[in-house]
Chain A
Amino acid sequence: MAPQARLTLFSFVARRLLQSLGVLLGVSVIVFALLHLTGDPTRLLLPLEAREEDVRQLRALLGLDDPLWVQYVRFLSRAVRGDFGLSFKHQIPALTLIAQTLPATLQLTAAGLGLALVVAVPAGILAAVKRNSVLDAVCSVGVLLGQAMPVYWLGLLLIMVFAVGLGWFPAAGRDGLASLVLPATALGAFSMARIARMARSGMLEVLAQDYVRTARAAGIRAFLVTYKYALKNAAIPLVTIVGLEFGILLGGAVITETIFAWPGVGRLAVDAIFSRDYPLVQAIVAVLATLFVVINLVVDLVYTYLDPRIVYARSAL
C-alpha cells in the first residue's frame, strides 16, 4: 500500500511540475508575440525620421531578419537566464527594474490579501453560523457592494473621504504603514467580498453534514462542534482560493498602484506600456505570470497534503 501511494504522489507532483513548465512555455510564446504585434519593432526603437539604412542596420543587429522561430528560441534562451534586454526608456536591464519595484507590489498585495482574509473569513463564518440574522444580512450587502465596486472607483472614494476629507491617511506614495492602508483596502475589497461569500457557503455546507449532526447528537458542546470540527473542514477549500486570489490581486495592483502612485511593478508596467518600452512590458508580464504559476503550484501541493481525499488521477489535472 505505502509504496504504491508514494509512487502516485510522486508522479502527481512530477506531472504537476511538468504542467507548470508547459504553461510557462505558453506564456513565453504570448510574451514574444506581444513585441511582434506592433509590426516592425525597430520602428519603436528609432526616431521617426531615422534613415532607411539605420533601420536596416538595427534590424540586422537585433537579429530581426532571422526566421521567427529562430528569434523565439533566442528570446526564450535569454529569458530563461533572466535576460529580457535593456529597458528602452531607462537603459538598464528590465529585470533589475522589476527587482527594484517588486517588493512594493508584494507588500501591497500581501496587505490586501491579509486584510481580506482577516475580515472575510470570520465574517463569512459568523454569517453562516448565525444564518438569517442581522449580521448575515449586513454581510450579504457588503459582499454585493464589494463585488460591484470597481477598484479604481473605490480608490478614488477612499482618497476623497479619508485623505482629502478627514486627512487620516496620505493620498499617494509609499511612506510608512499609514500610506499602505488606503491602497490595501481598495485592492483587498473585491477579494474580501469573494472570500466572505465562499467562507459562508462552505461553512453552511459543512454544518449540514452528517458528522456535524452526529457530533451534536452525541452531546458535544455546540461551540466545539461549530468552531472545531466544522471549521476545520470548511477551511480546506479556502486554501485554493488564496492562491487564485493572489493572482487576481497582482492584476488589480496594476490599477491600484496607478491611482495611489504606489511605486510598484504595476505602475512600472503602465508606464512602460505608454512609453512603448516593450522589453520592460515583456519582462513584467513574464515575471508576474511566473509568480502566479509558482504560487498556484505550491497551493495545489499544499492542498493535496491537507485533503487526503484528493485522488492523484490523470483527470484531476
Chain B
Amino acid sequence: MSVIAEATVPVAVRPRRRVSFRAVFGLSVLLVMGGSAVFAPQLAPWDPTRQILVKRLRPPMWQERGLREHPLGTDHLGRDILSRLLYGGRISLGVGLTAVTLSGLIGVTLGLFAGFFGGRADAFIMRIVDVFLAIPYILLVMGVVFALGPSLLTVILVMAATRWVHFARIVRADVLSIREREFVAGARARGNRALRLLLRHVLPNALTPIIVMATLELAFMIIYESALSFLGLGVQPPTPTWGWMLADGRNYVATAWWLATLPGLAIMLTVLAVNLLGDWLRDTLDPRLPV
C-alpha cells in the first residue's frame, strides 16, 4: 500500500530539502564580515589610523615590494589596509543595520496604519510616500547631511528618515488584503480592539515581505553609506570607512590598484551576500513575492 502511495507522488512535487547554495554562501560571508567587524580590535594587526610614512603605498604581500606584516598592503599614508578594512566593516554594517531597523520601524508602523484604517490617513501617508519617491534620494540625503553637519548619527537618521517609504508601501499593500480576510473579521467580531488586532493578527501575516524588504534595504543602505563616505559626507575621518578608502584610492588608480579595489570588493561581497540571503528568504518564505 505504502509503496503505491509513494509511487503516485511525482518526484517534482515532493518538498526538496536540499541545502541552498545561496543561503550557505550568503550566511557564511555575512558571518565572516560580521565577525570580523565585531572582533576588529582583536583581529586587526595594526591600529587602523597609524601612519608609517616610510612604508607608504606598499602592495599586498604577494606582489613585489609587498611586506609580510601588511598582508593587503598600505595606503598613501602608510596605514595598514587589512586593519582599515576590518574597522571599516563596523561602520558599514553598523550604520546599515541601524538605519534599516529605524526605517523599518517607521515604515511598518505608518504602512500598517495606512492600510488598516484607510481613508484620509491612508491618502495623506501615501502622498508623502509619493513625494519622497519623486525626489532624487542621494541629493536629498546629501543636502540634509551637509546642512546638519556630517556625523555617524546624522547619516543614520537621514537615511532612515528617507527610506521608510519603501517599507510603508509594501506593508500598506499587504495590509489592504489582509484586513479583508476572515480571521481578521473574526477577531474583530470577538471584540478585539484595533491595536490588538493590528499587532496580533495583521502584523504577523505581513512579516514575510517585511523581512525580504529589510534585506534589500540593508544592501541598499550599505551601498549608500559608502557612497556618502566616498563623497565626503559620511562618517568623518579618521574613522576608517570603506567609502573613504575608495575615495582615497581614487587618486591612485594608475599607480596603486589595491587602494580602490579592495574596499570595493569588501562592499560588493557584503552586498552580494545580503542579496543572496534575501533571495533565498523570499523563495523559501513566499515564492509569490515579486522579484
Collect the chain B residues with CB atoms within 8 Å of residue A30's CB.
Answer: 131, 135, 140
Q: Within the assembled complex, what's the spacing in Å between the Cα atoms of A309 and B257?
A: 54
**B291: contacting residue among A148, A156, A197, A259, CB under 8 A:** A197
Contact string against B for A residues 267-309, beta-carbon threshold 8 Å, 1 for contact and 0 otherwise: 0011001101000010011001100110010000000000000
Query: Judging by beta carbons under 8 Å apart, are A269 and B139 in contact?
Result: yes
Q: Is B215 an interface residue (CB 8 A)?
A: no
**Stretch of A64-72, A115-123, A248-256 at the chain-chain interface:** A248-256
B272 touches A37 (CB 8 A): no
The yes or no answer to B34 lying at the interface (CB within 8 A) is no
Stretch of B36-44, B96-104, B261-269 at the chain-chain interface: B261-269
- Does A160 lie within 8 Å of B253, measured CB to CB? yes
A7 to chain B, nearest CB (A): 23
The reply to whether B139 and A284 contact each other, CB–CB distance below 8 Å, is yes
Interface residue B226 (Cβ < 8 Å from any Cβ of A): yes
The segment out of B9-17, B69-77, B142-150, B190-198 that lies at the interface is B142-150
In the complex, the answer to whether A293 meets B134 with C-beta atoms within 8 Å is: yes
Residues on B with beta carbons closer than 8 Å to the beta carbon of A236: none
The proximity string for B residues 121-143 relative to A, scoring 1 for CB distances below 8 Å and 0 otherwise, is 00000011011011111111011
A145 to B148, CA, bound (A): 34
Q: Do A285 and B136 touch across chains, with their CB atoms under 8 A apart?
A: yes
Q: Is A152 an interface residue (CB 8 A)?
A: yes
Known: A37-B148, A150-B227, A254-B139. A160 touches B272 (CB 8 A): no
Contacts of B139 in A (CB 8 A): 251, 254, 269, 273, 281, 284-285, 288
Q: A284 CA to B138 CA in the complex, in Å?
A: 12
Cross-chain pair count, CB within 8 angstroms: 132
Q: CB within 8 A of B231: which of A156, A255, A281, A284?
A: A255
Q: Is the CB of B138 within 8 A of A144?
A: no
A288 to B135, CA, bound (A): 7
User: Within 8 Å of chain B (Cβ to Cβ): is A45?
Assistant: no
Interface of B is mostly: helix
A10 at the interface (CB under 8 A from B): no
Residues of A within 8 A of B223 (CB): 150
Please name all residues of chain A whose beta carbon is closer than 8 Å to the beta carbon of B133 when the two chains form the complex: 247
In the assembly, what is the distance between CA of A289 and CA of B136, in Å? Answer: 7
B128 contacts across to A, CB distance below 8 A:
26
Nearest to B274 among chain A residues (CB) is A148
Beta-carbon contacts of A186-204 to B below 8 Å, as 1s and 0s?
A: 0000000000011001000
B87 within 8 A of A: no
CA distance A25 to B231 in the complex (A): 30
Known: A149-B268, A156-B253. A289 touches B143 (CB 8 A): no
**B131 and A23: CB pair below 8 A?**
yes
A150, B143: Cβ atoms closer than 8 Å: no
- Least CB distance from A58 to B in Å reads 19
In chain B between 54 and 68, which residues have their CB closer than 8 angstroms to a CB of chain A? none
With a 10 A CB-CB cut-off, give which of B138, B246, B272 has the most chain A CB atoms: B138
Give bound CA distance, A284 to B143, whole Å: 11
Q: Tell whether A160 pairs with B260 under 8 Å between CB atoms, given A148-B275, A198-B291, A201-B291.
A: yes
A38 within 8 A of B: yes
What are 8 residue pairs bridging A and B, where the CB atoms are less than 8 Å apart in the complex?
A: A19-B130, A30-B140, A34-B147, A147-B219, A150-B264, A285-B140, A289-B135, A289-B136
The 6 closest A-B pairs by CB, nearest first: A26-B131, A153-B264, A148-B272, A148-B271, A251-B136, A37-B147
Give B contacts to A, CB under 8 Å: 127-128, 130-131, 133-140, 142-144, 146-148, 219, 223, 226-227, 230-232, 246, 249-250, 253-254, 257, 260-261, 264, 267-269, 271-272, 275-276, 291
Besides A148-B271, A153-B268, 13 more A-B contacts (Cβ < 8 Å) are A23-B130, A26-B131, A27-B135, A34-B143, A148-B275, A150-B268, A152-B227, A153-B264, A160-B257, A247-B134, A255-B230, A285-B139, A289-B135
